[in-house]
Amino acid sequence: MRIVLSLIIVCFMSVSCNTESPKAKEFDSNFAHVVYFWLKNPDNQEDCRAFEASLKKFLSTSEYAQTKFIGQPANTPREVVDNSWTYSIILTFPSKEVQAKYQQEPVHLKFIEESEHLWEKVQVYDSVGL
């Protein structure tokens, strides 16, 4: 009985240890699109929930955006760090041409239509890899 129990435990451990987690999508260094949003009412939880829901819906259905990072300020108090914004996104694309298609993508335009009333400022930084 001990041998059977030991074999079951060993089999269970080998199966659970050998399961692979899904591979994360790598950062595409060809074109990065970084956007900072300043909400009009950053302390209003209802506005924040509405913005987050719209943003997540948009990014989950974008045909062109690859890396899809949503962030909030890390509140790292250094003179060179701007923590004044409310949300950020970092999206990557395989090329400038694909990013241009993303700009006209219906889900991107729908996100702007749904959420622009919530923000007072948007700042974009686009860059191409070396």
Residues contacting residue 20 through CB under 8 Å, at least 6 positions apart: none
Residue 29 banded pLDDT, cuts 50, 70, 90: confident
CATH number at residue 114: 3.30.70.100
Could you tell me what percent of the chain has a pLDDT over 90?
A: 73
How many independent structural domains does the chain possess? 1
**51 assigned to some structural domain:** yes
pLDDT (average), residues 88-100: 95
Which residue(s) pair with 87 in the sheet?
A: 37
Q: Please check whether residue 65 is in contact with residue 92, taking contact to mean a CB–CB distance below 8 angstroms.
A: yes
Q: Which domain holds residue 46?
A: 31-128
**8 assigned to some structural domain:** no
Residue 22 banded pLDDT, cuts 50, 70, 90: very low
**11 assigned to some structural domain:** no
Q: Please check whether residue 31 is in contact with residue 103, taking contact to mean a CB–CB distance below 8 angstroms.
A: no
CA-to-CA dists, residue 82 to 17, 38, 74, 76, angstroms: 42, 12, 10, 9
pLDDT at position 28: 72
Three-state SS string over 75-108 comes to CCCCCCCCCCCCEEEEEEECCHHHHHHHHCCHHH
pLDDT at position 122: 98
Closest CA relative to residue 34, chosen from 67, 76, 79, 74: 67
